[in-house]
Amino acid sequence: MALLNELAKKKEGLVSGHRLCPGCTHSVIMRQVFAVAETDKYDIVVAAATGCFEVSTGLYPYTSWNVPWIHTAFENAASTISGVEAMYRALKKKGKLNKEIRFIAVASDGGTYDIGLQALSGAIERGHQFLYICNDNNAYQNTGNQRSSATPFAGSTTTSPNGKVKFGKEQPRKDIVSIIEGHHLPYTAQASPSNWRDLMNKIKKALDINGPTYINVLEPCTTGWGFPPHMAIEIAQLAVDTCVWPLYEVIKGKVVINYKPKKKLPVTEYLKPQKRFAHLFKKGNEHLIEEFQKQVDAHWEWLLKREECGIEYGV
Amino acid sequence: MAEKLLNWDEVLIGAAIKEPGNSRQYETGSWRVERPVWNPDTCIQCMFCWVYCPDSAILVDENGKMAGVNYTFCKGCGICVEQCPSKPKSLKMILEAEAKGKSEEELRKEVFSEDK
């Protein structure tokens, strides 16, 4: 891949002036996407689901997008982009359009894990050519940190608060990559903005595939998770180094782990700087950290074993 | 802010916005409490500040090199300072109140007086 100096010369796809919180990584992720997309070879069309990113970059009468961008509703980013893609294919077939275009849908975890799951599943099943990027910030941060199915175990949110009776969210988070992978699509991956080279490689791979692709990206949220804005990238790095957020890809059912930390850090390193986990460090809650570690370890072991198997689908 | 709000009959169908990237008219730099100051003498041009900047506020010259900070849009989150790998750091945060009325050159001398 080109050096950052080369990428920095390119025209930005997402410009300044958006109203995301200081230290928000939504725009960091999208800027990395545009940096690696080969915009000299194809144009890009983006559809967005409702969420922080949509409301702060598309605040009427302003837009921060330098590319065609469309928003309809919360649940249907995937349906919207499949409609646009179907129209593009029809026009191309009729000879009314001869441009190369790539389609990207952007949503957060609310619009992917919960509300948009049905639309996403349908769009992947129909086999449209699009890349779906889920910026996972672990809750409905746009409306003020309500629990979603992406919220991790023991995470405190406004609808799963910790207190005398409860300790935050009781259920573990949903393993969305496995759900998406069940559609047997050509490419699924999980990435983090802290490891920009890895993220860019995955985006490039996904955009070159003729078919539906899905990338799950960690999006540390300074306001909802409760850490100082300057730590955003550091938190993402800690999530990767503690294996809370493993970087891996699934190519036709075969798991490839892209980053194995030399020294796997204990989850406390990741939990400690975040206010939403502050109650775990109170006396008497040690078992919750143990449980958190157990869940992370189990998932990591499972991934390692799957990589070792190296089995592909027979299609 | 836009100078005048549009009338209902002036708004395009589907609330379409004709001008791409027009949020650049909205200056987010006024949100800033702290500002990063850049020292070109110790900068190693790794461009990590550029790749991690949420507000596209790192200025880039025609050779793709770091050329300073765009204070019109920088919200002062401090990610660039945190991620700057050079030793000593080529970006440092100072309070906006302390930067008031001083030129960039003056600030640079003041902040980086201990570094080369």
Q: Domain residues of chain B, as ranges?
A: 30-112
| B23-81 confidence digits (pLDDT tens) | 999 999 999 999 999 999 999 999 999 999 999 999 999 999 999 999 999 999 999 99
Count the neighbouring beta carbons within 10 Å of the beta carbon of residue B108.
17
Q: Between A8, A24, A228, which is nearest B54 by CB?
A: A24
| B77-97 confidence digits (pLDDT tens) | 999 999 999 989 999 999 999
Measured CA to CA, the distance from residue B111 to residue B69 in angstroms comes to 15
| A144-173 confidence digits (pLDDT tens) | 999 999 999 999 999 999 999 999 999 999
Percent residues over pLDDT 70 in chain A: 99
What are the chain A neighbours of B82 within 8 Å (beta carbons)? 230-231, 233-234
Name the DSSP class of B90. Answer: S
Q: Which residue has the tokens 């991956």?
A: A189
Supply the ipTM of this predicted assembly.
Answer: 0.92
Cβ distance of A231 and B82 shorter than 8 Å: yes
Query: In this predicted structure, what is the pLDDT of residue B116?
Result: 56
Given a cut of 70, whether residue B2 has pLDDT beyond it is: no
Measured CA to CA, the distance from residue A170 to residue A290 in angstroms comes to 14
A35 touches chain B (CB under 8 A): yes
Given a cut of 90, whether residue A136 has pLDDT beyond it is: yes
Query: In this predicted structure, what is the pLDDT of residue A1?
Result: 63
Residue A190 belongs to what H/E stretch?
strand A187-191
Given a cut of 60, whether residue A139 has pLDDT beyond it is: yes
pTM of the model: 0.94
SS3 B31: helix
A145 touches chain B (CB under 8 A): no
What are the chain B neighbours of A58 within 8 Å (beta carbons)? 17
Given a cut of 90, whether residue B100 has pLDDT beyond it is: no
Mean pLDDT, to the nearest integer, of A110-120? Answer: 94
Mean pLDDT, to the nearest integer, of A211-220? Answer: 96
Nearest CA in chain A to B93: A230
**Residue B8 — very low, low, confident or very high, per pLDDT cuts 50/70/90?**
confident
Contact A142, A110 (CB under 8 A): yes
Peptide bond into B88 cis (omega under 30): yes
Given a cut of 70, whether residue B1 has pLDDT beyond it is: no
Instruction: Quickly name the fold that domain A4-309 has.
Output: Rossmann fold (3.40.50)
Measured CA to CA, the distance from residue A20 to residue B81 in angstroms comes to 19
**Residue B14 — very low, low, confident or very high, per pLDDT cuts 50/70/90?**
confident
Cβ-based contacts under 8 A for chains A and B: 132
B30-112 classified as CATH 3.30.70.20: yes
Phi-psi region of A243 (alpha: psi -120 to 50; beta: other; left: phi over 0): left
Mean pLDDT, to the nearest integer, of A234-256? Answer: 96
